[in-house]
Amino acid sequence: GGIITQTPKFLIGQEGQKLTLKCQQNFNHDTMYWYRQDSGKGLRLIYYSITENDLQKGDLSEGYDASREKKSSFSLTVTSAQKNEMAVFLCASSPGTGGPYEQYFGPGTRLTVL
């Protein structure tokens, strides 16, 4: 088995601040994802990466940057935090994109912007 680790678990920022969230997986999976979940709602895809140094925009990429410098890690940056923003950011990984692969999710990073 493997595990996905997200850091930090809780992130409090100020309006306009640049904030970085980190994700590590030890499944040796090729594909990694960042999703955003607002309270009581489903997940929305921000970015995904099918291999090291690859980045693909999802439906919600505006206001975010991502980085995949190693196969095992995928970082997400909120470029300018919005006041009163509250959401959970979930990282996931899967073996690839060619088959009906399941995605494995981390526990999430909870963001609060004051």
Partner 1 sequence: LAKTTQPPSMEAYEGQEVNVSCSHTNIATSEYIYWYRQVPHQGPQFIIQGYKDYVVNEVASLFISADRKLSTLSLPWVSLRDAAVYYCIVTPLGGSGNKLIFGTGTLLSVKP
Task: Please state the three-class secondary structure of 57-90 as a single string.
Answer: ECCCCCCEEEEEEECCEEEEEECCCCCCCEEEEE
Residue 44 vs 80, nearer CB to partner 1: 44
37/17 Cα distance (integer angstroms) = 20
Q: Is 101 in the site for partner 1 (CB under 8 A)?
A: yes
The residue whose two tokens read 């909120």 is 78
Q: How far is the CB of 63 from partner 1 (least distance, A)?
A: 19
Structure tokens at 23: 């994700």
Judged by CB under 8 A, the chain residues 50 through 79 that form the site for partner 1 are: 50, 56, 58
Q: Is 22 in the site for partner 1 (CB under 8 A)?
A: no
Residues at the interface with partner 1 (CB under 8 A): 4, 31, 33, 35, 37, 40-45, 48, 50, 56, 58, 90, 92, 94, 97-108
